[in-house]
Amino acid sequence: MRVAIAEDSVLFRAGVASVLADAGIAVTASVDTAEELLAAIEQDPPDAVILDIRMPPTHTTEGLDAASHIAANTPEVGVLVLSQHVEAHYALRLVNERPRGAGYLLKDRVVDPDEFVDAVRRVAAGGLVLDPELVSELVAGARGEQPLDRLTAREREVLSLIAEGRTNQAIAQRLFLTEKTVDSHIRNIFFKLDLPSTGEDHRRVLAVVTYLRGAESAGAPNSRRL
């Protein structure tokens, strides 16, 4: 697998590159601006990119803007956005613009190499990955908002793990359930959220988008320093 990195902190960027190299992942570009990243992708498209939300020159939304450009021009390239903070509105923007091959993780997640590399691989394979810390905040903020209040507590728990990009098998292991029971919960979630009878993967993404929108509308914190 081949990955490009955009991060203006030289030390953090080197750390990410080292974690990827140890996992046998080739780094095709290591740059400190979104502009340099887009140029590198145009020359040599990788399987995925890892980029910070805030980069030079303004340190605001350069990373998200680059993600939008990648979604429009090279949608086959997965995008994993890293952030210092839990920012639900940015995660919602990312998922709305590219519901497949997208991820939003806190930078602290890089401390766990196995978890981080797993997230990178899932994004490169077209999966959707949201940071567990973000998911926890969304669960806390999603109070009384239709259609999420149609779900039982267990169904919300299953949906939160879907939002983290977990497979049915992984959800079953985490919740000490059988895969058959997880399948049943997921069917109930799709039904209660009025999701169309399309492919399984597509409906999982739609469920996560509904989850994000509902939590955001209900007043989940938009930003929190860790």
126 and 183 share a domain?
no
Domain count, the chain: 2
| Each residue's pLDDT tens digit, 69-104 | 999 999 999 999 999 887 777 887 887 788 789 999
> Does residue 47 carry a pLDDT above 80?
yes
Per-residue pLDDT at 226? 30
- The one-letter code for the residue type at 81 is V
Distance CA 89, CA 100 (A): 18
111 and 154 share a domain?
no
Question: Could you tell me the residue range of the domain that residue 102 belongs to?
Answer: 2-130
Question: How many angstroms from the chain centroid is the CA of residue 164?
Answer: 7
> Does residue 211 carry a pLDDT above 90?
no
| Each residue's pLDDT tens digit, 111-164 | 889 989 999 999 999 888 888 887 776 666 555 456 677 888 899 889 888 888
| Each residue's pLDDT tens digit, 156-208 | 889 888 888 788 999 999 999 999 999 999 988 888 887 766 566 667 777 77
147 and 121 share a domain?
no
> Does residue 216 carry a pLDDT above 70?
no
Phi-psi region of 100 (alpha: psi -120 to 50; beta: other; left: phi over 0): beta
168 and 198 share a domain?
yes
Q: What is the pTM of this model?
A: 0.72
